[in-house]
């Protein structure tokens, strides 16, 4: 709510005629009996980068998971519109095909399936959904080669079983490689900085920045300001106890870095 009131003020400084991409209205979600999201409102337009910050347990990763369609969470009320479609009505694979991408905080190990085979299946399933022709081996080879450059990833890594025995940095680079291949309209990066040293962080952030365009948008979910030195947000939102309690520009992130979350929380509690 706070953010929506402030929106005209922020948007004055940047292009506001861009297409509305994601519109979250009063979203409530729970896991088991525990309500975690208690009325989220958020609007993201094409070309924008939003950062969602907040202390541990505030619901950041839950929001990312609910948007991607993880079935552990039950949405109890509210709505999410993604490019004119009711996002909550779509299966996870349909959300991906519509152009949503979640970079996982903890990418899952898929034993026996190489990244290349995984991505071939994903790309062709999405093309099938969109009524496009399947890509062949030669086209894939060319495309993969092009995308590998974004995150400086090695062919040998792509031939190995996905995420199996990968280092933290390799897993996150692989996530961004997948993002480069799938070319999502909206990418949600869930704590992509966790477990990364500064060099890996820079590579991952550079990859994300190269993929940025006026046609797509990014939501960066992070606990620390560090990542935002590299991926500069247009908007920063603070999530606390399942609600967005403060929104601002990138300066808000710097304030949080300096003063922590306490000054916001104490004003609320």
Contact footprint for other proteins (CB under 8 A): 68-71, 91-93, 95-97, 101-102, 104, 107-113, 117-119, 121-123, 125-126, 129, 161, 178, 182
**Least Å from the CB of residue 259 to other proteins:** 35
Nearest-Å Rg of the Cα atoms of the chain is 18
What is each CA distance from 221 to 67, 89, 102, 110, in whole angstroms? 12, 23, 11, 24
**Cα–Cα distance for residue pair 58/241, rounded to 1 Å:** 5
Nearer to other proteins, 91 or 149 (CB): 91
Q: How far is the CB of 98 from other proteins (least distance, A)?
A: 9
Instruction: Name 199's Cβ contacts closer than 8 Å, sequence gap at least 6.
Output: 169
Name the minimum Å distance from CB 267 to other proteins: 36
Rounded CA-CA distance 174/162 in Å is 9
- Min dist. Cβ of residue 130 to other proteins (A): 10
Residues linked to residue 49 through DSSP beta bridges, in sequence order: 218
Compare residues 171 and 246 and give the one whose CB is closer to other proteins.
Answer: 171
- Report the b/e string of 172-203 with b at 16+ CB within 10 A: bbbbbbbbbbbbbbbbbbbbbbeebeeebbeb
Between CA 123 and CA 125 the distance in angstroms is 6
**By C-beta, is 118 or 261 nearer to other proteins?**
118
Q: Which is nearer to other proteins, 153 or 264 (CB)?
A: 153
Residue 205 CB, nearest distance to other proteins (Å)?
22
Nearer to other proteins, 68 or 245 (CB): 68
């Amino acid at each position: 709510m706070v953010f929506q009131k402030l929106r005209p003020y922020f948007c004055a400084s940047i292009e506001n005629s861009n297409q509305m991409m994601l519109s979250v209205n009063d979203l409530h979600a729970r896991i088991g009996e525990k309500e975690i999201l208690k009325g989220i409102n958020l609007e993201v337009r094409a070309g924008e980068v939003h950062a969602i910050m907040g202390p541990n347990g505030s619901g950041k990763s839950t929001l990312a998971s609910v948007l991607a369609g993880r079935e552990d969470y039950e949405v109890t009320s509210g709505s999410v519109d993604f490019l004119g479609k009711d996002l909550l009505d779509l299966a996870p694979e349909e959300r991906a095909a519509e152009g949503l991408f979640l970079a996982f905080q903890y990418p899952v190990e898929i034993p026996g399936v190489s990244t290349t085979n995984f991505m071939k299946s994903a790309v062709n399933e999405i093309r099938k959904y969109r009524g496009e022709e399947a890509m062949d081996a030669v086209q894939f080879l060319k495309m993969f080669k092009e995308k590998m450059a974004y995150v400086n990833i090695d062919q040998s890594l792509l031939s190995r079983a996905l995420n199996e025995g990968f280092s933290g940095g390799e897993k996150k680079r692989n996530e961004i490689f997948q993002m480069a291949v799938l070319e999502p309209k909206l990418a949600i990066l869930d704590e992509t900085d966790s477990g990364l040293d500064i060099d890996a962080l820079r590579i991952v952030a550079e990859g994300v920045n190269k993929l940025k365009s006026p046609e797509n948008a990014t939501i960066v979910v992070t606990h620390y300001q560090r990542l935002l030195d590299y991926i500069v947000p247009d908007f920063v939102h603070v999530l606390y106890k399942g609600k967005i309690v403060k929104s601002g520009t990138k300066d808000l992130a710097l304030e949080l870095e300096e003063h922590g979350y306490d000054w916001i929380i104490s004003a609320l509690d």
